[in-house]
Amino acid sequence: LLLAASQPVLSAELPRLVAKDGRHALLVDGQPFLILGAQANNSSNYPDMLPKVWPMLDRIHANTLEMPVAWQQVEPKEGQFDFSFVDELLKQARANDKKLVLLWFGTWKNTAPSYVPDWVKLDNARFPRAKKPDGSDHYLHSPHARTTLEADKKAFVALMQHLKKVDAENTVILVQPQNEVGSYGNPRDYSPQAEALFRQPIPPALAKATGKSGTWAQAFGKQADRAFNSWYMARFIDEMAAAGKAVKPIPMFVNAALHSPFGEPDPSSVSSGGPQWDVLDIWKAAAPHIDFAAPDIYSREEKTVSAWLDGYARADNALFVPEIGNAADYARFFWAVLGRGGIGFAPFGMDATDFYNYPLGAKRLDEETLDAFADKFALFSRIGQDWARIAYAHPTWGVARPDDGSSRTTQMGDWKIEASFEQWQFGHKDWTWMKRDPVPWAGKPVGGAAVAQIAPNQFLVAGDHVRVTFSPGPNVKNGLMLKVEEGRFQDGQWVTSRVWNGDQVDYGLTFNEKPALLRVTMGSYK
Ligand code: N0T
């Protein structure tokens, strides 16, 4: 008995990512888990700030907090570690019934060394900055410095060792080593050491993954500097992730500062070396210990955001949005993420520490802004596990209102599905008198829907500010919408609370401000 009591708590199943048929799930305690996340502001990683964080997560029905842990905070003096903030964070996360995603702010935070300890910042001989072509220092720490990698890795591994010791119950479900890496204004290190590497043929693993050959310049042309920096930053981070996972193997990911998805990027004006969609193959080949790369979304344009999401939702890359602006008009992209089988979504800057990153996000977190996220999260906080389980096994589709408010259609199996916007719940917006009285949100960037095909003739639908219409595709004779049930899941089983009929279905299934969950059954007669 005594012996048993002194044993540590039997560790639960580790969180892990699984993939099947091009779809992904994050398993938490062995079950698919949908991250309804919120990221704290950059300087909220202190015990005194935590009381300003949890109420915000509860307000928007988030189940997961993304919080920085800074190298300078845990290793202020070399070799002396202080994980007291991590301990407090874990304790409070459990008390508040939240999961955690830890963001390791180390050598690169938005590319800069702002979060490294002073003893790193001030020792440019041991931890050298990258060089510009003219030989002067760029602000960036060079990814080619073994000493920098060893020092950062040591601290990161210490964090993972600490987690192994104090987090047997796996409150931490994901770890992000570094933040928005890359280099601004100087696409790569031009030091003599880096120049020598740049003149060599590309690494065999990269040649194999991309089918390219020759030197970096030969293989990647105008994007060669970016490709080179991507490879070496990814190798640096992969070595950290591998060392961390050797201690505690939980999923790790990287996030990307994004540029326009249209047209060729200028390596000097993007975050060169970061895990953007157009260099993802390089990152995959260089960093096999990184489970996925993730887009940080700070565009409010649907066509831009959809292109980004498409760039990350791949059979070899789970879609997760670890950051998205916290203004109301970003909330509609939740539907687009779910529809692409995303494993989670997290608005950035969700705490009450009086900082707002407008124009990226909201000017203020007023009630309307919070509701835009909270109403969606509230529904999925009840069905998130069910949705994640279903989305792992079934086709999904989702849309956010396009910039011009036009409708979107798709076909799933035999059935056509249309999402249209700015409809009252009764009738049609094209009717003359309806044109004179548009919905209050007409012209505003709100609305969207997500659909899962749970059986050939059956769908789950959720959305807000949207009308979803199901109709027979060209191969169906005498097809019809048979039944529309509003309901929920209980212990994994569908429970109908009522059947929608009459006015509720005659013009389509029209959701207003409050998201709802429907199960739609289609049929046909002979
Ligand atoms: C994000 C966040 C935080 C006008 C910005 C976005 C977070 C980092 N960076 O609040 O700093 O830690 O990951 C960069 C987007 C820059 C766009 C500037 C255009």
User: Going along 241-374, which residue ranges are E strands?
Assistant: 253-257, 292-297, 320-324, 344-347
Distance (Å) from CA 316 to ligand 1 centroid: 26
How far apart are the C-alpha atoms of 353 and 48, rounded to whole Å? 10
Ligand 1, atom nearest to 179 Cα: 13
Going by alpha carbons, the residue nearest to atom 18 of ligand 1 is: 360
Residue type, 175: V
Residue 5 has a pLDDT of 46
Going by alpha carbons, the residue nearest to atom 8 of ligand 1 is: 110
User: Going along 228-385, which residue ranges are E strands?
Assistant: 253-257, 292-297, 320-324, 344-347
How far apart are the C-alpha atoms of 237 and 145, rounded to whole Å? 13
How far apart are the C-alpha atoms of 50 and 53, rounded to whole Å? 5
How far apart are the C-alpha atoms of 145 and 373, rounded to whole Å? 42
Q: ipTM higher than 0.90?
A: yes
Please state, as a whole number, how many other Cβ atoms lie within 10 Å of the Cβ of residue 211. Answer: 8
Residue 384 has a pLDDT of 86
Architecture of domain 408-524: Sandwich (2.60)
User: How many Cα atoms occupy the beta-carbon half-sphere of 308 within 13 Å?
Assistant: 28
Q: Please report, in angstroms and rounded to a whole number, the separation of the first and last CA atoms in the chain.
A: 69
* Helix and strand numbers, DSSP H then E, in the chain: 15, 23
Q: Shortest CA distance to 117 belongs to which of 177, 148, 178, 71?
A: 71
DSSP letters for 57-118: HHHTT--EEEEEEEHHHH-SBTTB---HHHHHHHHHHHHTT-EEEEEEEEEEETTB-TTS-H
Give the residue, out of 269, 326, 360, with the most ligand 1 atoms within 8 A of its beta carbon, to mutate for a pocket test.
360
Per residue of the chain (526 residues), give pLDDT as tens: 444 444 444 558 999 999 999 999 999 999 999 999 999 999 999 999 999 999 999 999 999 999 999 999 999 999 999 999 999 999 999 999 999 999 999 999 999 999 999 999 999 999 999 999 999 999 999 999 999 999 999 999 999 999 999 999 999 999 999 999 999 999 999 999 999 999 999 999 999 999 999 999 999 999 999 999 999 999 999 999 999 999 999 999 999 999 999 999 999 999 999 999 999 999 999 999 999 999 999 999 999 999 999 999 999 999 999 999 999 999 999 999 999 999 999 999 999 999 999 999 999 999 999 999 999 999 999 998 999 999 999 999 999 999 999 999 999 999 999 999 999 999 999 999 888 999 999 999 999 999 999 999 999 999 999 999 999 999 999 999 999 999 999 999 999 999 999 999 999 999 999 999 999 999 999 9
CATH 3.20.20.80 fits 2-393, yes or no: yes
Task: For the chain, give every domain's residue range.
Answer: 2-393, 408-524
Ligand 1, atom nearest to 357 Cα: 10
Residue type, 48: D
Residue 11 has a pLDDT of 54
How far apart are the C-alpha atoms of 270 and 250, rounded to whole Å? 30
How far apart are the C-alpha atoms of 295 and 279, rounded to whole Å? 13
- Contact in structure between 486 and 479 (CB atoms under 8 Å): no
* Helices 146-166 and 84-95, axial angle in degrees (round to 10): 40
Residue 12 has a pLDDT of 80
Distance (Å) from CA 280 to ligand 1 centroid: 20
Q: Which two tokens stand for residue 7?
A: 């044993």
Residue 227 has a pLDDT of 98
> For 92, phi and psi rounded to 5 degrees?
-75, -35
Q: How many residues does the chain have?
A: 526
DSSP 513: S
**Burial degree of 511 (CB within 10 A; 0-12, 13-18, 19+):** buried
3-state SS, residue 274:
coil
Distance (Å) from CA 302 to ligand 1 centroid: 19
Going by alpha carbons, the residue nearest to atom 10 of ligand 1 is: 357
Residues with CB under 6 A from ligand 1: 42, 110, 179-180, 257, 296, 298, 323, 348, 357, 360
- Contact in structure between 128 and 192 (CB atoms under 8 Å): no
